[in-house]
Structure 1
Amino acid sequence: MTAAGGVFSQRIREQWNEQLGRRLDILVAGCGRGTPLDLDRIEARVTGVDEDRPDLRAATAARTDLNVWSLGDLRSAALAPRSYDVVCVEFLLERIPHAELVLDRIVNGLRPGGLLLIRMRDRKSAYGFLDRKAPFRNRLWRWLAPAGAVGPLPAVYEPVSSREGIQSYCLMRGLMIAEEHTLTSGTARLGPRGGLVALLCRAVGRLSGGRLATDHDEVALVVRKPQHHFARLI
């Protein structure tokens, strides 16, 4: 399990303890790209949603932690308001259009006091730049990605899929960022030619004059939706 995955599992366990053992309703948005949750000895009902793509469908069907799942257009997915105690958004925002609209719908499904756990590729990292700008990206995927990796998936990278973009989003929506972590977890960096990819990231970072980060490519956040009535209702 990744460092972010370990933190998320611990925060989910704490949320369950705070609710005195009541069943947690969990939504996993990006279930075709994410990893199974560690819910050992936690009573939970887990719902998965993602885009409808053949590789995502196969990965979703193989997961053992989902009680129910659906794939389709995330702008119209059936997400009832205030229905989930925890929402995990896993490597979804950087690969979909209309990311803020989709995120609004996902957050609307979160109960007051609930947790929003986000993992995403940082648009303003050197890796994120290469991911969206590399020529022949789909052909390179098979050469760079580790065996069994899901993809290649679209590389849209709208402004919200950056460290500054998601911070601004949370501020405007009245969401409180409790923790923020930066990590290196890019698929191509974990593949058979990870050293070459790391070298390219360093070169791109230097050429950008330091504007594109080379010390991370993933941003992971633990966000809480406030309980109080002054928070913006979405």
Structure 2
Amino acid sequence: MPGEVPSITKQNEDLVGSVSKNTDAPGPSSNYVLPSVPLGEMAVRKANTLLQIDRHQIQAVQSEQQALELQGLGLAVYDQEVLEQGVLQQVDNAINEASRVSRLAEAEQELQQLADELRSCVTSLRQINKIIEQLTPQAATCKEIGRKLDSVKRQKHNKEQQLKKIKAKQKRLKAVLGGSQEEPDIEEDLQGYHEEGETTRELCQNFMRFISGSFAKIVFYHNITRGLRIKIVLEGPACKSLQYKG
């Protein structure tokens, strides 16, 4: 009857709140009516949902196009197509944001795991370098030690390849996180490792030049506070003991 507020349907109520279909209004052939109560609050009270639709982001029908019975009742009137598109757009935005936050959280967790792996890898490489320092002087005179040295060098190669893969993964994850993550401690460890590698090569080269052409009995030991010390007992004509300090 004229003057009566259209009834509220159950189907539309479940979708976006209390709504009704207006068949007498001029303008769009199909309109929906939303109450003045914020839809997000109604969703929390009725369905306890996580996503709250903001009806203020959806364009309402102009007041002059609304039915006379609805004017002045504090109701917002929406075109059906506009309303559906607005609701779906907000749902899509919420899903995309949740997915983005999840990806960032996973990237941060994986980056932390890689940092731990990197520390472990650098520590292993340092230990391998120390073993190489100890075995290299004897490898020229003892085949068994030479074979062991080759095995240790293969382990070093594998660790260096693992280190490259870890750094590549770190670079990719930092790009996902926008480059906001830094690992200063790890960078210092890597710099220290590379410097140790250069020192090891120079030490071995100098040592081999030092004992070149002599038959030597080598006694080596490592002092943590003073570095690598190698005692060489020459069995050649000179017959004297020397010390080479790395």
Report the TM-score range of the alignment, normalised by the length of the smaller protein: under 0.3
TM-score, length-scaled by structure 2: 0.24
Between 1 and 2, higher relative CO (CA 8 Å, sep ≥ 6) is seen in 1
Higher helix share: 2
User: TM-score under structure 1 normalisation?
Assistant: 0.25
Max Rg structure: 2
